[in-house]
A = this chain, B = another copy of it.
Amino acid sequence: MTHSLDTAAVIDPVKLEKLAEVAIKVGLQLQRGQDLVITAPIAAMPLVRLITKHAYIAGAGLVSTFYSDEETTLARYAYAPDESFDRASDWLYEGMAKAYGNNTARLAISGDNPMMLAAQDPAKVARANKAMSIAYKPALEKISNFDTNWNIVSYPNPAWARQMFPDDAESDAVEKLANAIFAASRVDVADPVAAWAEHNATLARRSGWLNGERFAALQFTGPGTDLTVGLADGHEWHGGASTAKNGITCNPNIPTEEVFTTPHALRVEGHVSSTKPLSHQGTLIDNIQVRFEAGRIVEAKASKGEAVLNKVLDTDEGARRLGEVALVPHSSPISASGILFYNTLFDENASCHIALGQCYSKCFLDGASLTQDQIKAQGGNASLIHIDWMIGSDKVDIDGVRADGAKVPVMRKGEWA
């Protein structure tokens, strides 16, 4: 922590406060009287304080922050009895679900050390994650189903910066990460709120075009990849701002560069290779290669983290099927920065990606009114997990496949065709 606070001095305080404002005004569009639940790594305290201030300025009722702490997480792995790894705070997440169902907004600050659990027993990591996923399910459903407005932003946690820039002095690493976050989050411009309005309009045009085309499938072709991703019946593309069921239009991810929709859980065929490493809850999974048959992953390899990958796939039946497919041009600002963040929020926005697990009900036409059974019948996947991984690059082409088999170029060498 001493390090964190020393290095916090290199983070531009004006841009950090702009990030807090963007989180409240664009990310959440927090409304007067709404309560707000924040989760954050404890190193992100300076940003939590600024977000809390701007939440109250916007008229928040009550702001409650729940901190995670890398040191106490590691103490659990070092000292806790074996049975601890099947425990999770069900009562807390049940309560959060209740709050989200009651118009409380949700803000998560991302910035954990991506290698936090790299040295821990993968079996324990998997058990702890599974227990957490089960406990968290009622709250996650409120978020996935957009019952309330929610947002994720990032803080340049020194433990994260050190992983990204291992050859730099810590303060240099934090400064680089801070500036990369500010650029990707569009807060390094004079009027970030206006910049976000323009960006949201661009993403809405892209998803509008795809919704007009109504492709039956997307075909990805590139090195190690020949994958046909069938799209769910009645799928709908989204990107940028979204209107939650409480009527509030929010930007759930900051940054965001993607347009995305729901694949058909039973109609994915072929093989695909990841193009960037995936940092999953403290473990790095690299060079993933999987093969799908009838929507299901029947073979999975990775050069690093293969054991964790296979544990993830065994979480439940839906963990082997897709819940999301997303398109991001290779020239997007995050990709152009050339920086690997080891953080899905950033890396998924540098590249086309797919997600294992739970689909988003909002990625269906009239999705809010569909039952779980209807979503399933239309091809929507269900799972405790939702894990994005990157399959796009400047060497990947994408075609839209119409119902009659005709192909329409969607992307060439990673750019919109």
Contacts and interface: CB of A to CB of B under 8 A. Distances in A.
A319 interface: no
B69 A81 contact: no
A48 B69 CA distance: 10
B84 A60 contact: yes
A72 interface: yes
A66 interface: yes
A59 B45 contact: no
A79 B57 contact: yes
A2 interface: yes
A82 to B, nearest CB: 10
Nearest to A135: B62
Nearest to A68: B65
Residue of A62, A63, A78, A94 ringed by the most chain B CB atoms within 10 A? A62
B66 A66 contact: yes
A289 B62 CA distance: 36
Residue of A2, A61, A69 ringed by the most chain B CB atoms within 10 A? A61
A280 B183 CA distance: 46
Interface string A129-142: 00000000000000
Interface string A96-108: 1011001000000
Residue of A63, A80, A99 ringed by the most chain B CB atoms within 10 A? A80
Contacts of A61: 80-81, 83-84, 87
The SS class assigned to the A binding surface is: helix
Nearest to A75: B53
Number of copies: 2
A89 interface: yes
A42 interface: yes
Contacts of A91: 95-96, 98-99, 102
A72 B65 contact: yes
A64 interface: yes
A21 interface: no
A49 B75 contact: yes
Nearest to A50: B75
A10 interface: no
Contact of A2 (B5, B49, B78): B5
Interface string A4-36: 010000000000000000000000000011010
Interface in A298-315: none
A93 to B, nearest CB: 9
A52 B72 contact: yes
Contact of A81 (B32, B71, B79, B95): B32
Contacts of A65: 67, 69, 72
Contacts of A99: 89, 91
Contacts of A57: 79
B45 A62 contact: no
Interface string A376-409: 0000000000000000000000000000000000
B67 A92 contact: no
A84 B49 CA distance: 17
Contacts of A64: 89, 92
16 contacts: A35-B87, A42-B42, A42-B45, A45-B69, A53-B72, A56-B78, A57-B79, A59-B80, A60-B84, A61-B84, A61-B87, A63-B72, A65-B72, A89-B99, A91-B96, A92-B92
Interface of A: 1-2, 5, 32-33, 35, 42, 45, 48-49, 52-53, 56-57, 59-67, 69, 71-72, 75-76, 78-81, 83-84, 87-89, 91-92, 94-96, 98-99, 102
**7 nearest interchain CB pairs?**
A56-B79, A95-B95, A91-B95, A56-B80, A62-B87, A61-B87, A52-B72
